[in-house]
Structure 1
């Protein structure tokens, strides 16, 4: 019998089992529940999941390969093709609901997060809604409605002047001296990073990136024609010896990195590592883009590269979605004055300006220290959450690859975490396997765990069960 929550194939129907199985996967591909590069279950695993023979699975996979939807990679398995025909196959959806597919790339992970129940999403990339402060946002909007500087025109292309002034003070608290004229607001931190890619880099340029790192940035750089140079990132931060060797060999234009509360490891650079990295940037002539998206969840005393460098080689990027609300796409960058004209021009071409209403509302949240106090409460609650999650993980025999900090922990589950994703999703848990954060999509035993959404002991029991079942099947093979 099939296992998990997969709806059964219809035995005795006019459509052969292999055709039904092929159509089931073809439908998932068409609906983009399986995206290019996603790995399908092995023949034996797929046969077990659907209660059919391996011969049936082979026949189904053959059909998908013939249709141009699937490719076989030697000694790795079956994967959705990177480019698929515009038209695809054939028959109507088989009876029964299509089950959700575990995230196999960044887009699928984000899509799953939009649909997910935060209480059952240990792989979530943000704080759950009930940790945020809607009253803070409502108060800011009411003040705007009462006439506190409500902007009804396009606004300044550089961003709301009141927000840029507040940001200049915020950066000064971090040791980063940037006047309001050196700050450009954007539609979230991701938009800021995109503007930098488009103004500072050219197709074919080599770019250093953290590995593990942010999968969305890997995808953006690749789509823009950049060559990725992965720098291993572990419990002690980026491997600067590897970075130096890569930079000496490939002459990269830039290094995109997270210095504080790195996603996914939670690691922060120490002062010695930050100084060494900046020396390498000078010696080997590359620029640094410092993504501080989780900076509000970190102590202000942690070193920022932009503070040590004075915004000479470093461009600083951050935003507010992690502490205010993901629905308000307000981000910003701080850069050397000579970079601002090109960045502002591209922002204008993208969408004229960013939202002056939301930016003014964020400025109001920052005034009188209200956002600072909210962030402090979040840090205290996360510290308690990390203690609870660490105890739950230890109780089930799991260890961390790096000490958890901030929102994330980098957990070692001892088996291929990508192979755990689907059975855990079938049990109701959305996870973030380590391959999602690898520049080369290398499989491994690590997964990102959200400290705010993984405090249910039921998840840790489900994880322990899934790991033991996977090991048991491997031993019996």
Structure 2
């Protein structure tokens, strides 16, 4: 709360609060600040105090004023390009353009506020459970088998062998053999020499992008989709082609149109427990996607981050394709040990050497100690049993969270499944997120999951961290006031 007895004036306190959130990316570039009236009501101050605080933020270059629209957070890392890509200036000419042309021509940067949730992992908002986070609570991941595996691989002789020389370029051979067996259980045919380890799944996605793409290349992405992937591809200079994601898979008509118009180089997909909707790909959609890939000569990178909590029989493109056009990406940060940072990719044989070159240029090799420990956890069945416990606990949490969300007035835009719920709040979730920050909660508003930022009434919730009735009570109170 703002304090009248503070050495700072109310104006300075309010400006400092917004400035801190902007610099920490908890208020993202493009986000609209509350109206003067709303902000005054929320903070119990006069409108003139809010105007003065916003003026301070303007003077610091943190926000910009847009006529008749309000105040918006500025992009701090550089100006946004105003190039319209040659789009027609008059309404008649513009009408002749397809939606696909507009999406590519505008080339707006992706939602940089992807970093908001990442920073929220390091800048603790409060001691309350965080509904917008994309990970399991740390106490869910605690185990005794992981420390035991580390102790076993760090006896004096093994420690010297691993520490005093570089590891295998592809990754620890024992881990790659264990991963090949694990993928075989998912019907993904990957030999150990087709598997390359990485520093987490995000690093694997980056290796694929840097190997197969060049700045300006068109890439199909699912929308809504993973904000970090949008931001990462934009940072590499790619042209994003957002494909609407439906319950059974991507909008195949839009994909076909993109293929005909723009000849995309890559399609990035989360087939199983898609983020944020938790949709799973149907066999029919998977078959048609692979037909398009063969017909139009593009690769598919399949991010199976949530495979550990998904049914083994779920449809995976890599299984149907046999790793011909598909590159399968996985990791263990979500389910096992976030700080071990172990990911991997399974690739077609003809791409392995190219992908390995990119890995070597960036990181040389990956730390083999943690890879050996992970191999032990897989081989001895401890990871499998750990995943079963997590799935059982998540099922219970999901049931409770769904009831609390619906009681608070939410509607689910997608059938609840997996780790995430895609919830319709009926209000602007960007504005709601700002108000919930004041209460110590970090939300994941719907705008975060679109390649081009736009207002949304949707938000993603984490079923593992939304079992707190106090959160839903505060949520309902604030929504009622909006």
- Report the TM-score, using the length of structure 2 for normalisation: 0.86
The offset of 1:26, in angstroms, is: 4.0
The offset of 1:348, in angstroms, is: 1.5
Deviates further, 120-129 or 234-243: 234-243
Give, in whole Å, the separation in 2 of the partners of 1:263 and 1:356.
30
The offset of 1:117, in angstroms, is: 5.9
Give, in whole Å, the separation in 2 of the partners of 1:407 and 1:399.
17
The residue correspondences of 1:324-473 to structure 2 (distance < 5 A) are 324-470=336-482
Q: Does the 8 Å contact 1:162/1:363 carry over to 2?
A: yes
Q: Does the 8 Å contact 2:247/2:281 carry over to 1?
A: no
Query: Aligned match of 2:65 in 51, 66, 72?
Result: 72
1:291-325 per-position Cα deviation (integer Å, ceiling 9, x unaligned): 00111110111011001111111111000011111
Q: 1:405 to 1:20 in 2, by over 3 A?
A: closer
Query: Aligned match of 1:303 in 311, 315, 319?
Result: 315
User: 3-state DSSP class of the match of 1:418?
Assistant: helix
Query: Aligned match of 2:113 in 105, 124, 142?
Result: 105
Q: 1:323 to 1:461 in 2, by over 3 A?
A: same
Q: 1:362 to 1:73 in 2, by over 3 A?
A: farther
Q: Which residue of 2 aligns with 1:122?
A: 131
Q: 1:333 to 1:84 in 2, by over 3 A?
A: closer
Give, in whole Å, the separation in 2 of the partners of 1:309 and 1:236.
18
Q: Does the 8 Å contact 2:25/2:115 carry over to 1?
A: no
Q: Which residue of 1 aligns with 2:209?
A: 197
Q: Does the 8 Å contact 1:39/1:104 carry over to 2?
A: no
The residue correspondences of 1:150-229 to structure 2 (distance < 5 A) are 150=159, 151-152=162-163, 153-229=165-241
The residue correspondences of 1:250-329 to structure 2 (distance < 5 A) are 250-329=262-341
1:116-161 per-position Cα deviation (integer Å, ceiling 9, x unaligned): 5675211121111111142121121121134695523211011000
Q: Which residue of 2 aligns with 1:141?
A: 150
Deviates further, 410-419 or 27-36: 27-36
Q: Does the 8 Å contact 1:269/1:303 carry over to 2?
A: yes
The offset of 1:179, in angstroms, is: 0.6
Q: Which residue of 2 aligns with 1:93?
A: none
Q: 1:85 to 1:308 in 2, by over 3 A?
A: closer
The offset of 1:290, in angstroms, is: 0.4
Give, in whole Å, the separation in 2 of the partners of 1:118 and 1:254.
41
5+ residue gaps, structure 1, are 87-102, 471-477
Give, in whole Å, the separation in 1 of the partners of 2:23 and 2:469.
36
Q: 1:196 to 1:365 in 2, by over 3 A?
A: same
The offset of 1:356, in angstroms, is: 0.3
Q: Does the 8 Å contact 1:306/1:314 carry over to 2?
A: yes
Give, in whole Å, the separation in 1 of the partners of 2:403 and 2:195.
42
Give, in whole Å, the separation in 1 of the partners of 2:14 and 2:438.
18
Give, in whole Å, the separation in 2 of the partners of 1:280 and 1:181.
28
The offset of 1:60, in angstroms, is: 4.0
Q: Does the 8 Å contact 1:149/1:360 carry over to 2?
A: no
Q: How many residues align?
A: 447
1:41 equivalent to 2:53? Answer no
5+ residue gaps, structure 2, are 80-110
Q: 1:417 to 1:10 in 2, by over 3 A?
A: same
Q: 1:424 to 1:81 in 2, by over 3 A?
A: closer
Give, in whole Å, the separation in 1 of the partners of 2:401 and 2:353.
46
Give, in whole Å, the separation in 2 of the partners of 1:24 and 1:132.
34
RMSD of aligned alpha carbons: 2.5
The offset of 1:50, in angstroms, is: 3.6
The offset of 1:69, in angstroms, is: 2.6
